[in-house]
Amino acid sequence: MSRNWGGEFLLLAALLIGSLLLGLLFGHLAWFLVLALVIFLARWFWQLYRLDEWLDSRRRHPPEAWGIWGHVFDEYYRLRRRQYKSKKRLARVIREFRESTAAMPDGTLVLDEEFRILWCNESASRLVGLVSKRDLGQPVVNLIRSPRFVHYLDAGEFEQAIEIRSPVDDARTLVLRLVPYGNSQYLLIIRDITRLVRLQAMRRDFVANASHELRSPLTVLAGYLDMLASGNELGPEWDKPVAEMQAQCRRMTNLLNDLLELSRLETDETDASYDEIVDVEGLIHRICADAQAADERTHVLEIDVACGCSLRAVPGELHSAMSNLVTNALRYSTDGTSVRVCWRAGDNGTAVFEVIDQGIGIERKHIPFITQRFYRVDSSHSRKTGGTGLGLAIVKHVLKRHGSELEIESEPGKGSTFRCVFPAERVVR
């Protein structure tokens, strides 16, 4: 038993003993005992009244008391002081958070589980035209009206960011990223990438214009070289130099063609059309026939068409992607080995185009980067075989426009597998 409770019991004992002595002296013992209990209870009610009055008032310091009530007053005062300090610390953290987010150049919105706006900073107001006092509590899709953004929220796959046009300025491009946190809350981060998009557009325009300008002199050079190769004016000692110049001229022509195709794919940001239906089986046979003719049958090309379905796609782009994969497999395979081309049904209604070779393979560290333009694992081998370094970049952009994925499996010395997975909505059974 604590000392505070001991004081209360001593007071009660003193009152009872006093009432007993007075009862023995004057009689009426029961009335004196009742009086002692009334005095004890009156003190308790008085202390309760003082506690209630102190809680309702704004006084900092508690009332003076002894015994258990003094202990109650002191403990509650300490709890109130601790809560006050915690509240001040929390208010300081919130103020610093708001100041830091207000200073961020990126727009920041806090959304609840139903994607209603709970808070936004000044950058968000500027980038998407929000008014914090008016728009708080509104669904974010009512204020950022973009079909891509609505589909992004409905899909629930927030690992990747999306690009949309600004709702307040169609000339500006924004990238949006949704980050789940806490108890079913989300942080929407908005970044203005207009300058980066313009730089990329300038780069694409430069590449396209330079490629167009280079095609004319290359055509002239190729014509004169063909004339020299077919004529007998030069001696036999010029046969090899002319043939080498023709090979390099063809390589430059292929490079320019790939640059123009890649520039067109990068410029066209819309998804590929669903209007045309491509006979993939016939396309594969044509691609393989052309590849075998160019390869001069130094490899064994196996065709396995186990899927009788077609694709809703752009024929020229599909031909470009598939032929690049088949050509690469032949280019990077040892003579006499086999290359297998497969067209089969995948999971959940998808369709899969696969090219499997037994070539030199690719180290794991290179796989994330081989779809970048001009990235080469072995530059000397690529130049020797006439590669431009743009084939897989073209494949990546074609598949992106068709909503498809490129999967790569490879092991050095054992070969590679390039797999194109086409979504079910593009497959025609």
CB 291 within 8 A of CB 323: yes
* Mean pLDDT computed over 87-110: 80
Measured at the CA of 350, the angle between CA 346 and CA 356, to 5 degrees, comes to 50
Report residue 50 as tokens. Answer: 């003082």
Distances (CA, A) of 135 to 117, 132, 251, 327: 7, 5, 58, 56
Range 104-192: architecture per CATH: 2-Layer Sandwich (3.30)
- Selecting from 3.30.565.10, 3.40.50.10490, 3.30.70.3460, 3.30.1360.100, what CATH number does the domain 277-428 have? 3.30.565.10
* Mean pLDDT computed over 338-361: 89
288, exposed or middle or buried, with CB in 10 Å at 0-12, 13-18, 19+? buried
Distances (CA, A) of 376 to 257, 332, 363, 405, 425: 19, 12, 12, 21, 34
Interhelix angle 194-230/239-267, rounded to 10 degrees, is: 150
Q: E-assigned strands of 328-379? A: 338-345, 351-357
The 10 Å Cβ neighbour count of residue 89 is 10
Q: How far apart are CA 389 and CA 377, in angstroms?
A: 10
pTM: 0.57
3-class DSSP assignment, residue 230: helix
Range 196-267: architecture per CATH: Orthogonal Bundle (1.10)
Q: What is the pLDDT at residue 342?
A: 93
* Mean pLDDT computed over 155-170: 84
Q: How far apart are CA 329 and CA 418, in angstroms?
A: 9
287, exposed or middle or buried, with CB in 10 Å at 0-12, 13-18, 19+? buried
Of the listed ranges 103-107, 145-149, 357-361, the least confidently predicted one is 103-107
Q: Where are the domains of the chain?
A: 3-96, 104-192, 196-267, 277-428
Q: What is the pLDDT at residue 418?
A: 93
DSSP state string for 11-59? HHHHHHHHHHHHHHHHS-HHHHHHHHHHHHHHHHHHHHHHHHHHHHS--
Of the listed ranges 10-14, 61-65, 376-380, the least confidently predicted one is 376-380
Of the listed ranges 41-55, 85-99, 144-158, the least confidently predicted one is 41-55
Of the listed ranges 98-112, 190-204, 330-344, the least confidently predicted one is 98-112
Measured at the CA of 207, the angle between CA 201 and CA 213, to 5 degrees, comes to 135
56, exposed or middle or buried, with CB in 10 Å at 0-12, 13-18, 19+? exposed
Measured at the CA of 42, the angle between CA 39 and CA 43, to 5 degrees, comes to 90
3-class DSSP assignment, residue 267: helix
